[in-house]
Amino acid sequence: MIVKKQFAIAMAAGTWLGCAAVAGAQTAAGPPAASADSQPHVINSQELDMLRKDIRSQKKQLMAQNLKLTDQDATKFWPIYDQYTAELVKINNKKYATIQKYADEFGTLTDDQAMSLIKQWLDVDTAVSQLRLKYLPIVGNAIGGKKAATWAQLDRRIQSMIDLQLGSRLPLAQGQGQ
């Protein structure tokens, strides 16, 4: 367990350092140049789709490795988790559509567009929190309070790491056109 904790801390520190380096580079260098194929995307839809599939797979693996379930618990938990994930995907569709719109319009965003897009992203964050609150008692009834709390902690931690990595790939809004 100590090794897993050290690994998680190292990953988080590496992600944080990577984010700080990207943010510093964006500040110093301005917005990223257009790619050789002249795509206007900061991150394209293919990259987002691949990232999402990879994230879902890794998230379930991390959950299985860190949430200690008996066979009986697992039989109850995994169908609930899959249902939760299906609902989460629908919410995250909005987040990724917002990110894609931001990427498509980066360099031409008005103040109003920037405010609208960040509000949409924050609305997604709220919806994810509400979904977690909805499923917490369901998971608790299936596998007990401590394991349900652990599930919620793991879900939040994994989502935080994903958000850090994704956020580090997007340039800051005020960096466009300066």
pLDDT in tens, 85-111: 999 999 999 988 888 888 778 878 888
Residue 24 clears pLDDT 90, i.e. is over it:
no
What's the token pair of residue 27?
Answer: 């500040």
CA–CA distances in Å: residue 65 to residues 1, 4, 31, 113, 125: 10, 10, 39, 41, 25
Give CA torsion, residues 88, 90, 93, 98, to 10 deg.
-90
Q: Do the Cβ atoms of 103 and 42 come closer than 8 Å?
A: yes
**How sure is the predictor about 129, in pLDDT bands with cuts at 50, 70 and 90?**
very high
Q: Which residue has the higher pLDDT, 108 or 176?
A: 108
Q: Structural domain boundaries of the chain?
A: 2-175
Q: Do the Cβ atoms of 171 and 23 come closer than 8 Å?
A: no
What is the C-alpha to C-alpha distance for residues 74 and 81, in angstroms, rounded to an integer? 10
Amino acid at 32: P
Q: Quickly count: other Cβ atoms within 10 Å of residue 11's Cβ.
A: 12
Q: Would you give the end-to-end CA distance of the chain in angstroms?
A: 48
pTM of the entire predicted model = 0.69
